[in-house]
């Protein structure tokens, strides 16, 4: 928060300040994921949420990523958990895919469910990497760091909200994450 305030006060960006903001977001995400992981049976507060607003709130954390949202839909979910899922997806697009754009499409699908598709313009994933996506604690590209934890936790959270999370890596550019949640209580 202080780093964002400093950026607003200075009115300009610098590589050092950008790095500080990136590291602060990464730490926030790691803490958030760890807390959700530590309480696998913790209660979620399911309520009717505007999917578009949930994505838009998270997009503010990624000023270098152009997030284009089309469509509209309300979902039954936990606001903190759903924003954590979106934060993980957007973070992965920027940190691992080097994406500059994320297209989000929200639409109603059969049986009272809502689909939220997040498609980035990043470099995509190689077939070797694609096989390990979503598996926790897979050695990452930077030696001692690990990857896979964010999507692993996200998949668990979406399941607890009675939804499904899947992804597609074609081996070429771009990465697509599909999220499906109930529109209301069954």
Residue 22 lies in a domain: no
Residue written as token pair 């030696």: 143
Does residue 41 carry a pLDDT above 60? yes
Residue 112 lies in a domain: yes
Looking at residue 116, its pLDDT comes to: 98
More confident call, 36 vs 120: 120
Domain that holds residue 169: 45-182
Split into its structural domains, the chain has a count of 1
Residue 146 lies in a domain: yes
What is the pTM (predicted TM-score) of this model?
A: 0.80
Does residue 161 carry a pLDDT above 90? yes
Residue 98 lies in a domain: yes
Looking at residue 91, its pLDDT comes to: 92
- The average pLDDT across 84-111 equals 94
Residue 56 lies in a domain: yes
Q: Give the closest residue to 90 by CA, choosing from 119, 111, 53.
A: 119
Residue 12 lies in a domain: no
pLDDT digits (tens, 9 = 90+) for 111-130: 899 999 999 999 988 777 77
Residue 130 lies in a domain: yes
Q: Which residues contact 54 (CB under 8 A, 6 or more apart)?
A: 75, 77, 79, 82, 83, 86
Phi, psi of 92 (to 5 degrees): -60, -40
Residue 20 lies in a domain: no
Does residue 50 carry a pLDDT above 90? yes
Looking at residue 5, its pLDDT comes to: 54
* pLDDT band at residue 53 under the 50/70/90 scheme: very high
Does residue 24 carry a pLDDT above 80? no
Query: Where residue 140 sits, what CATH number does that domain have?
Result: 3.30.565.10
Lowest mean pLDDT, pick from 65-74, 126-135, 155-164, 167-176: 126-135
- The average pLDDT across 162-171 equals 88
| Cα dihedral: 154, 185, 74, 159 (round 10) | 10
Phi, psi of 94 (to 5 degrees): -80, -50
* pLDDT band at residue 102 under the 50/70/90 scheme: very high
pLDDT digits (tens, 9 = 90+) for 137-157: 666 554 445 466 788 889 999
């Amino acid at each position: 928060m202080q780093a964002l305030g400093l950026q607003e006060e200075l009115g300009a960006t610098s590589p050092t300040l950008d790095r500080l903001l990136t590291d602060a977001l990464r730490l926030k995400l790691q803490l958030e994921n760890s807390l959700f992981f530590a309480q696998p049976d913790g209660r979620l507060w399911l309520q009717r949420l505007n999917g578009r607003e949930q994505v838009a709130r998270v997009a503010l954390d990624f000023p270098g990523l152009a997030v284009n949202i089309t469509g509209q839909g309300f979902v039954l979910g936990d606001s903190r958990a759903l924003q954590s899922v979106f934060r993980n997806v957007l973070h992965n697009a920027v940190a691992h895919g080097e994406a500059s754009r994320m297209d989000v499409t929200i639409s109603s699908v059969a049986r009272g469910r809502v689909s939220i598709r997040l498609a980035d313009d990043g470099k995509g994933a190689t077939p070797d990497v694609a096989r390990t996506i979503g598996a926790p604690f897979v050695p990452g590209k930077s030696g001692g760091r690990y990857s896979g934890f964010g999507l692993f936790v996200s998949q668990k959270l979406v399941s607890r909200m009675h939804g499904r999370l899947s992804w597609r890596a074609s081996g070429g550019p771009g990465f697509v994450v599909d999220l499906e949640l109930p529109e209301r209580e069954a």
